[in-house]
Structure 1
């Protein structure tokens, strides 16, 4: 028997705000989180891109100092988002053996790794911190969340580039279906605004170079888009069965009704221009939801603002929805938040859930002249979703050919 899985708590920290409500309010208001970087290392390394979407509330403003210094910044963001989601869910009383963690990152403890390398070169091996490996390992987010919340059912980690945290949500759905836990904390986080990643993404011609106008640099669907904007932060969902949630009197945001995961097997960085893999992930999510493409009323697109990625996503969705893709309200929220890499899918899942709750598709800022090759129904204003039941999908695609899609239904109980 298929269980009904619900979201009872959300948390988020990004360039738009330090909490999920702040992120949502600023997203709806059309705020851009992108700013010129003020770090000395920008000029020191002569970086060709001098801006990014840094988290607006720094982790050290939220976490106790003794805790923060033992965590890589990516895990600091994980802690902040997951704690907010847990409190939002009512800090449920659950047996440790029935609480699981499905967490994700795209890169992991980048800052810890490279800071340790600098310390080794400059000061020698005795000065390298003994906690370096536990801090840099990609599973540090899942491990530390498990320790903090006392989660003993499992603590699993997904690392599939920019599809990571969407895949973690799809996994959590299946783990709840399989009765491996009563509650799962799912999501992802990333902190990769670092000289090496900024330089390497710029070298790959993936980043926008609008140094003179950073707030308008990310332009998904626009004909003059020139790349994505690096972002950082994290987001978390508390997921459980509807039966479990109602038994404890929890508020419910939305149903998680399915997920799809596929691989392109096409190119290590580029996605399949024919969109076969991405389309299959959408179809899998809808099949698991027991839904047809005609039922979808909103899409949060991956839409990174790269010249090649945006039209490829449009082509993939056209395979699934046909001409109707031009009628579905679509939001490309990376225009506001930047691209959080492994954390971006979870943040966009939060936005998709709130879009269903409030019956509104958030705006896509920085829309200048639309690209005829990307004729999504994007708008610089909010788009109403109407009354009645709603079904939405959120897409994430990553280097390595990873595709992940998760589907949500509105909760009207």
Structure 2
């Protein structure tokens, strides 16, 4: 039996279960970027409804369709099929370009009673290649869903300063963002100027009135040389401290803040035995609980070297919030490795008793993988032993 380390945080027990939301297997596309958000009070018996945003990954690399959504009113027992959102479909651009939005994270904005979806605007050539030659080729795109009228708005773009300079490209993609008590938002994002390969991460402080998102200011600019810099940051707030996890091609990093804008020096993610976590070139996300902080991630060292970038399975584990380390003995495999990549996923609290992690299998062959992958979009349930007071 393992013994507790000195000053180890109280461990919060939890159970995990993975179940399919739906399956689709075709050589034309695979479903990608499934992420969920609760609609408090809009489900059965006063419980939350849950909306999942998702889109199709097409033949070219990082070539995405318009946005779709699914909905469940019974906490995932039954779901709609993916529903195309006409307001959020591709739009025509100049020179036969296509304007799209990808890497979307939805979230509930309680002050306005709206679901807010935040992602990256993209420009595609007629062949499906991304175009980055002009300012604002990547922008912060946002849209809202009104659960009362069950209607979506079209994409809008967040106006940013210095778009010919440091904010030439602005990419709040695959990020976990937060709503402050005053209704303003903290949106992690990565950005770069017109030249260079490395991205810098910051947190945008924005106002939102239910219709328009406005830039107020941004925080520290976190940078590292090489490996494309820092990208796909995700932010959590637990017991008065903000935690930011960062992706780099070679490793994953962690830092903290007292205000969500100004951060301590970054450090590599490690286990509590000092060994590197082994997560790299893949996003990681938080499960925030009032009694503990948890990280969801992929990593090396799990008999998964046959998976590109070791992007399956998806793990969950508790974090030591003082040492900023993953507590190895708490690690569980949440979403299974079945021969193909995962890793473009979402994580959020749904009820006080349960948080969800969602991902989809990257498979474009049109037939199942010998290890079992069959185009499943997964729901991973994390059931807490204590109610999560952060879940509304």
> Quick check: TM above 0.5?
no
- Bigger proportion of residues as helix: 1
After TM superposition, the score normalised by the length of structure 1 is 0.34
After TM superposition, the score normalised by the length of structure 2 is 0.35
- Bigger proportion of residues as strand: 2
